[in-house]
Structure 1
Amino acid sequence: MSRTLLVTGGAGFVGSALIKSLLTEYPDAAIVSLDNYFTGTPENHVNDPRVSYIDGSTVDIAKIWAGQGLTAPELVFHMGEYSRIVQSFEDHDLTWDFNLLGTKEVVKFSAGHGAKLIYAGSSSKFGNDGQDENLNPYAWTKAKNIEYIRNYSNWYGLDYAITYFYNVYGPGQITTGKYATVIGIFEHQYLAGEPLTVVSPGTQTRDFTHIDDIVRGLLLVARKGSGDGYLLGAGHEWPLLDVAKMFGCEYQLVPVRRGERTRGQADITKAMELGWRPERKLDEYIAEFVAAHPR
């Protein structure tokens, strides 16, 4: 292999989908996943000899890399962080360690090896004219990482591009447990014959992005992007109650959850300048799901 690519969080939802596409896009590359398996699972591993999976923390990335005797990576896709809003109040220490300590080491590691860093920022940064970045530990740590990456590049030199995900859904999403995604939860409840639980008041909006569109965006930003501001969303905000109604079954409102924002919609202008367009639509995806699983 003539090059090495690193994906942190490579055994997770987005990371595993990304690795599948990297194998096609970079046929001459060896791909390394570094994952602590907090939400990632061995079931997400891609069975290909060009992919290596390392169980470890991003805090120890430099030591782990040296211990494995690996060559310098050309690209570092940093997906391996804590990524839930409400739960970050309960998991404050984990959020701090994964997102601040871990990312500090990934940034230093990338710059030290001359690798381009592709960072998965959080759309929570943009809500309420930027004020929502202080709503919860997760959003705050993600916003601070953006500041740190930009400053580190100015201080020490770092080739980077920052993407922002908007409510990723699709095959491989987490459907159960406290780290499940919204669409994953709805799908699980639908299949179980249960009413869908919609957080009150139901009028709050989200922009939902299919995993295929996210991966295409990451690959494009890796090849052509530079700096901050690549928002990857569908550019459409859906009220959560309307999303639940698409499944055509009963639903019920549940209490408001701490730290959640009221609106979310991506400004995809900068990503579109690279030639990216979202291709998958949420309503069509749900219609296909319901048609494939009639109740």
Structure 2
Amino acid sequence: MSQTLLVTGGAGFVGTALIRSLLTEFPDATVVSLDNYFTGTPENHIDDSRISYLEGSTVDLAKIWAAHGLPAPELVFHLGEYSRIVQSFEDHDLTWDFNVLGTKEVIKFTATAGAKLIYAGSSSKFGNDGDDENLNPYAWTKAKNIEYIKNYSNWFGLDYAITYFYNVYGPGQIANGKYATVIGIFERLYLAGLPLTVVSPGTQTRDFTHIDDIVRGLLLVARGGTGDGYLLGTGREWPLAEVATMFGTEIQLIPALPGERVRGKADLTKAAGLGWQPENQLDKYIAGFVAANPR
């Protein structure tokens, strides 16, 4: 039986990689991407007749879906939210609109369709014994969405599973502009022959996860996951200054930024229960990148 799968944020970094895998893993399915193209881009579109790319806000999801006469989806992968920590102070209104108003409508739409929601939560909520969820507008909205999903399920019925991404990197990552990722920034500066900028003090740690591992985790959770707690990381902390030195070039410390957490490390217990383990390592990835781009 054919299926309809919805990916919000399907023209973004993670969404594009996910859609590519969905086409392989669900050969009889059609995939619908809804993206407002805030960080997503048409250049990420995959040329396949089984994909429909819709432009619009998640706030208007139900209206957009009805206007196109689409069948109810079986799976909804909700990746289309605002997803930057430091920038969320400046973009407070956007963070609220994308992550609160938009996600409320995605949850309602999914429940009405009788579909399963796979939600991309933020690992920022786990830092400092949970207190880090209050460090910045982004982390706070993401943490509140988790509460809302659980309550909505109890109030009205909703099949859901919640994943948490830890600093995703790999092909397709954003390397330019204010929404660039850490590894994307490092690669861009390296290729330009510039010092790699590291936010002070440089000892803060992150758990970096390859995009291929994230996508495998999402598919496993979609098939067999239920409820909260699927952390997708490597379980290893990398100090940011140490990561920068792996590129073998000069580094430059820049002033500390507001809202940044001190540590990040995933507990893989629940994801491992589905048979998921990370297969890619950051140091090997960087070594391969440097070898392919000698200076």
Superposed CA offset, 1:219-251 (max 9, x none): 000000000000000110000000000000001
Q: Structure 1: give runs of 5+ residues left out of the alignment.
A: none
CA distance in 1, matches of 2:291, 2:16: 27
Provide the TM-score with structure 1 as the length reference: 1.00
Give deviations 1:128-181, integer Å, cap 9, x for gaps.
Answer: 000000000000000000000000000000000000000000000000100000
Give the secondary structure class of the aligned counterpart of 1:109: helix
**Residue 88 of structure 1 aligns with which residue?**
88
Q: Deviations over 1:65-114 (max 9, x none)?
A: 00000000000000000000000000000000000000000000000000
Q: Which runs of at least 4 in structure 1 moved beyond 2 Å after TM superposition?
A: none
2:74 aligned with 1:74: yes
- Superposition deviation, residue 2 in structure 1: 1.4
- Pairing of 1:15-54 with structure 2 (within 5 A): 15-54=15-54
Q: Give the letter for the 1:288 counterpart.
A: G
Distance 2:277 2:83 in 1: 24
Residue in 2 that maps onto 1:104: 104
Q: 1 CA distance for matches of 2:177 and 2:130?
A: 29
| Aligned mates of 1:287, 1:235 — CA distance in 2 | 20
Deviation at 1:3, TM superposition (A): 1.0
* 1:1-295 paired onto structure 2 within 5 Å: 2-295=2-295
The alignment's TM-score, normalised by the length of structure 2, stands at 1.00
Identity fraction in percent: 82
Distance 1:242 1:24 in 2: 37
Counterpart Cα distance in 2 of 1:292 and 1:30: 36
CA displacement 1:32-67 (0-9 Å, x = unmatched): 000000000000001100000000000000000000
1:34 partner SS: strand
Q: How many residues align?
A: 295
- C-alpha separation in 2, matches of 1:202 and 1:86: 16
Measure the CA separation in 1 of the matches of 2:287 and 2:3. 41
Distance 1:26 1:153 in 2: 26
SS in 2 for 1:73: coil
State the SS of the aligned residue for 1:6. Answer: strand
Q: 2: CA distance between counterparts of 1:140 and 1:122? A: 10
1:243 partner SS: helix
**2:141 counterpart letter in structure 1:** T
- Give 1:119 shift: 0.1
